[in-house]
Every structure is written in C-alpha cells, then in structure tokens.
Amino acid sequence: MLFFQRLEQAVARNNSLLCVGLDPDPKRLPQWTLTDPDPIFAFNRHIVDLTCDLVCAYKPNIAFYEALGTRGMETLRKTIEYAQQCGVPVILDAKRNDIGSSAEKYACAAFEQLHADAITVNPYMGWDSVEPFLRYADHAVFVLALSSNPGAQDFQVLDGNGYMLYERVVEQAVGWNERGNLGLVVGATHPNEICCVRALAPTEWLLMPGIGSQGGDLQAALANGLRSDGSGVIVNVSRAVIYADDPREAAMSLRDQIEEARALRRSGGEGCGPTSRSSDNPNLVALALGLHDIGAIQFGDFTLQSGIQSPFYLDLRLLVSNPDVLAHAARAFAELLDDVYHDRLAAIPYAALPIGTAVALQTKVPLIYPRKERKAYGTGRAVEGHFVKGEIVLVLDDLITTGASKLDAIQPLRDEGLQVRDVAVLIDREGGGREELAAQGLTLHSVFRLRDLMTVLHDEGRITAEQQESVERFVMASPEAIAENA
C-alpha cells in the first residue's frame, strides 16, 4: 500500500490530521522511565500508547537518536516498528540530501534499515539528490519548502526575478511528483506564505511544523493550507504534547481544534490561493512595496494635467528601469490571468509595452500592440506583431481611471478581426473605468484597486494613516479627479 493511502486510512480512522513528534530529550524524561533498560523507548512507547487513536502519523527527528550513538539508532528502529504495529505511519525527520550515490544510501538507510514510511529531504542540491528517495514509490518524500524557524528569512524568502526561493522549490517539487509520493514541508509560522504554497501545490500534502512551542497560529495555518476537502495537511506538534502534564489530553485538544477547522473548510469555509487578498499574497506585498520604493507612488501636493490638485501621484513608467519590480508585476499579472482564456496579449503604448513584454516572457503568450497612429510608410500597419484573424486578445495597460482610452486602443484590434473580451491593468484608480468597460461587454481585471494598494502599504508601514485617508477621501469625493493622474 502506498504511503498516502496508509496516511489517509489513519486520518479517517482517527478523525485526525495531528502528527506527534517523538523527539525525546534524555534530560526531560520522567523519573519512572529511568528504571527501564531503554528509557527513551519506554517514553516513546508510553506516548504512542496514549495517542495512537488520536493521530495520523508520528515524526521522530533522527538527530535526537543519532546523538545517542548506536544505542539511539536501535531505539529509533524500535520506536518506528512499535508505532507501525499500532497502525500509525511514521515520517522520519532527517532532512537528508547529497549527490545521487550518497542519496541512494540515505534512502536505503531510512526505508530498508529503519523501515520508516516517509522521510523529509532538503532539496538544495536539486533533482538528482531527491530522486533516489522518490524511487521508493510506496514511501513518501516531504521536500523542505519553507521551514518554521526564524532563520528561514535568511534564504528561503529571497527574491529571484519575481519569485521567492521557497516558491521556486515548490514549483520544482510539484514537477517531480510523478509517482504521487511527494509532499512539502511548510512551517505554520508562515500563514500568509502557506497561501502561495497551496496555490502552487493544490493537491500535495503539506507537513506543517511550528505549532506549539514555536508559536505558529494553528487556525490561520489550517485556513490557508487545507484543501477544499478538509484534508491535505499534517499538523506536527512535538514538545507541546510529549512534555505536557497529560499528553493524551493535549493531543485530544489539538485534534479537536484541527477537526473544527476541517469541518469549516469542508462546509465551504473560505480557503486561499491565487485569488486571495493582496495582503495575504507575498508576491503582491513585495510588488506593492517595490512600487513604493522606486517612487512609482508618491505623496504630496501634485497638480494634475486637468488642473486638479491631488495628494498622490502614480508613475508606473518607472517600472522599465527596475527589473526586479517589473518581474514582480509580471508574475502578478500571470497569477491574475491564469484562468482568463486568451490567445495573445496586446499592450497599449507606451507605458504598458515593457509590462506586456515582461508578462509575455512570464506566461509564454505572444504579444502584439496597437499603434497610437498608423504608419504612413512601410507596411502601414495599425497593429504590430503576428496574429490571426479571429483570435482572442487580452489587452494590458498600466492603469485605468475611465475606460475611454482603453476603448480607443481596442478599436484597431477589432478592426483587424481580433476579439477582445478582457482588459487587465496593474492599478485600477477606481474612477469608473470598470463600470464603463462592463457597459461595453468588457471585463476588467486589476492586480490592485487603488484603495487596496494603499491598505497594503499602510499595513506594511510604508505610508501613514493620514496618507491612506487622503487617498480614500480623494477617490470617494471625486472619482473623475484622478483621470489625468498618470
């Protein structure tokens, strides 16, 4: 039987997604264990006896046993065997990784010598270091994506061309899951990032440490990590159970809390994914902060082309000189438009041309663009780039206030026999453009609405409450006032 089949049986039998970490410290063992020839095993056996009907898995960390030498490794083997005899699968927390030939030996030790059901691995060395573990199709491999410790910030959330490192890991790992025996390790101490992981890995099981002593928010982590079927998460808790005054009571309380969250999710409770709020999406937060930091969002007293005084100014033309922020924007567009059918992108000159190019590179969708004026020489084309009559084109621009300029740009595309149904912008300045396009049968998609963007910047400490309120008053008092704010 495959690991995830055994896991699901345990989940169903015990109505539980709780995993207990068997990480005993010899200095913290109860006095009664010291009379046993193997006090560590006696302690583990006691915990298993108390909780085996309340959990879906156990997770011993190999370090606690290796530190005890050969005696400790024998204790680990006996612990794994005992838990399995009680009908509960065991995930060996070893975070192994090495070149292919060494990884083969690590996999052999874990699966053939210790007889663990699953193992955690570190993917830093890439595919050839993970594949030897995945080769054991009836066992599972949990790839470390985003760890629960504070040091995760040092490397795992570093930006790389619009992607955080942990997101790259998740994408790669999902592509490796050809045998259906791969899961991901995602710390419960990162509830917002769990949204991104679940969006990138909609079906994979998530092993989630960080609840209890590390301070993870159980309810937030479950709300963001559970699949719509109320499953797909293994909540690991170690010290808060094994060192509790009453380990069974502690495990039962956690199991019940998890079951409440599962019931809510199964009944239609809101999860998260690509369509989550911008403040819950790390890439959108990074994009908002990037726009602010490059000066694309400024506050002060500005005179617009219309003569109206505005407390803010947006200049997205600065994106062309800031490739990192442009990459975040391209990724945000790609996520936004993932479910919107289109054959080609069409960028409106001039501000949207670099954005459109970046989005085309990100999504691999061909780009065309309507000219502001038809060429009086050469081909005399009104639309540049290759296209075929009848294709569906999605129009991109940087901003929208009213819909007039978008409708003007769409007309040459339609004159060439192209279909336009959707328009996407980075920022909707909430000046009536959405409604104006809707009246013409067009759907507007925006990465940010202006006030949502300001909420993110305020929540992240980039702008003051007074600045946020000034934008709110400006938009609410006179939507048309921002028509020239570009």
| Catalytic positions, written as ranges | 95
Which DSSP letter does residue 278 get? G
Structure-block tokens of residue 379:
């081909």
Structure-block tokens of residue 104:
């083969």
Tell me the C-alpha to C-alpha distance, in Å, between residue 225 and each of 191, 212, 286: 8, 17, 21
CA distance 431 to 135: 56
